[in-house]
Amino acid sequence: MKLWKRAAAAIKDQKSLIAVGFSRRASYRNTDLEAAIIKATSHDDSSVDYSNAQRVYKWIKASPLNLKTLNHALSSRVNHTRSWIVALKSLMLLHGVVSCKVPSVVGEIRRLPFDLSDFSDGHSSLSRTWGFNIFVRAYFAFLNSYSSFTSDQIIRTRANLRSDKVDSVKQQLDRIQKLQSLLDLILQIRPIADNMKRALILEAMDCIVLESINIYGRICSGIIKILPAAGKTDAARSLKIVNKATSQGEDLAMYFEFCKGFGVSNARDTPQFVTIPMAEVEAMEKMVKRVEKDEEEVVEEEEKAIVLLEKPRLQTIITDKWETFEDDEYCFSEKAIQEYHQDPLPLVVSNQPVCYTMPDLITF
């Protein structure tokens, strides 16, 4: 059965090569490059064709115009395949292109030319391929984000060189946080099914392990560079980044142990990274506490000011100098008393209660 599947896969690859030979000529077509791409992404899961992969890299480095051929050939091949082998080899091939040191190439890649976020192998039952499906999806999620990030960094570097500027502290912190997000994505790429100990999976994991070392090293280097320059406004964010980097270092060590147990050759020795100076971290923690204390004091002063505005001060005045009004003087004057005795008011006696109409103080 395995021999029949390999024969059928070889026939598919041969048909694709014949189709390239008879394809219509166009400005974006390069038949030699397309043939090398098909061979580098063959259906054979026993090995990786490194010779043809190197041919592809040479074509891309020779001229960025060959990126159009690469994008066209890979998108056409991946969109028409249902094989996890072809999908994974295509990702590995593009990973090598993204990791090359040619800015004119990497700056033009941006997002990947295909979408494998919902990939599912169609050549075997789901019970046998679910682990490979998850592996391909995780690899695509990382590589798609990594490609976009790398391209953005090259474009920003070019802009800085033209304007003779350097990245601000905020921009450097943004870059470190994006690298931390990429490391979170790459640590999700791992074989989780029992039937995944294949040569192709081991080759892919070798690439992933090396890339994880590269990304974490860039995170640590960026932190060491930014800590002395971070001020009060960036202290809390910088400390958060440092704490996450420490946690990710532990996660990476566990990831290496898993890869070592799985048999990944590049994970045999755990690398020693440059450690973040504790003196810088402690200084950052003191700065954060100082900023938080200052903010609390400002809040307390504002609350006191609000209380003083809401509660006016009341005072009690004791005095023996009472102010007299004109009516009071008349009622208790000697003249008024004499007039009352001469013509006293009649005394009205009645069994009926005296009713007074109270004024309406509400509607008035």
| Residues 276-295: tens digit of each pLDDT | 777 777 777 787 787 666 65
Q: Which of 21, 184, 142, 9 is nearest to 81 (CA)?
A: 9
**Cα–Cα distance between 48 and 45 in angstroms, integer?**
8
At residue 6 the predicted structure's pLDDT band, cuts being 50, 70 and 90, is confident
At residue 323 the predicted structure's pLDDT band, cuts being 50, 70 and 90, is low
pLDDT surpasses 80 at 318: no
Question: What mean pLDDT comes out for the span 200-212?
Answer: 96
At residue 193 the predicted structure's pLDDT band, cuts being 50, 70 and 90, is very high
* C-alpha distances in Å from residue 239, one per residue of 81, 233, 247, 250: 46, 12, 12, 17
Length of the chain: 364
Q: Which of 284, 219, 282 is nearest to 246 (CA)?
A: 219
Q: Could you read off the pLDDT of 213-260 as tens digits, one per residue?
A: 999 999 999 998 888 877 777 888 888 999 999 999 999 999 999 999
Q: Which of 133, 137, 15, 134 is nearest to 84 (CA)?
A: 133
**Cα–Cα distance between 247 and 242 in angstroms, integer?**
9
DSSP string, 299-346: HHHHHHHHHHHHS--------S-PPP-HHHHHHTSHHHHHHHHHSPPP
Place of tokens 């280097």: 221
Which residue type does 259 have? Answer: C
**Cα–Cα distance between 17 and 292 in angstroms, integer?**
66
| pLDDT of res. 12 | 84
pLDDT surpasses 50 at 310: yes
Question: What mean pLDDT comes out for the span 334-362?
Answer: 48
**Cα–Cα distance between 139 and 187 in angstroms, integer?**
10
Torsion of CA 61, 65, 70, 76, to 10 degrees: 180
Let me know: does 57 contact 97? Beta carbons within 8 Å: yes
pLDDT surpasses 70 at 341: no
pLDDT surpasses 50 at 364: no
| pLDDT of res. 187 | 97
* C-alpha distances in Å from residue 234, one per residue of 118, 216, 231, 295: 39, 21, 5, 15
Q: Which of 75, 87, 74, 94 is nearest to 118 (CA)?
A: 87
**What phi and psi, each to the nearest 5 degrees, are found at residue 10?**
-65, -40
In a 10 Å sphere around its CB, with 0-12 CB exposed, 13-18 middle and 19+ buried, how is residue 217 labelled? middle
| pLDDT of res. 233 | 79
Tell me which of 3-12, 27-36, 234-243 is least confident: 3-12
Tell me which of 49-58, 159-168, 192-201, 291-300 is least confident: 291-300
At residue 65 the predicted structure's pLDDT band, cuts being 50, 70 and 90, is confident
**Which range scores top for mean pLDDT: 43-52, 93-102, 206-215?**
206-215
**Which range scores top for mean pLDDT: 51-55, 97-101, 106-110, 335-339?**
51-55
| pLDDT of res. 94 | 94
Q: Which of 267, 265, 266 is nearest to 253 (CA)?
A: 267
Phi-psi region of 164 (alpha: psi -120 to 50; beta: other; left: phi over 0): left
Q: Could you read off the pLDDT of 140-164 as tens digits, one per residue?
A: 999 999 999 999 999 888 888 887 7
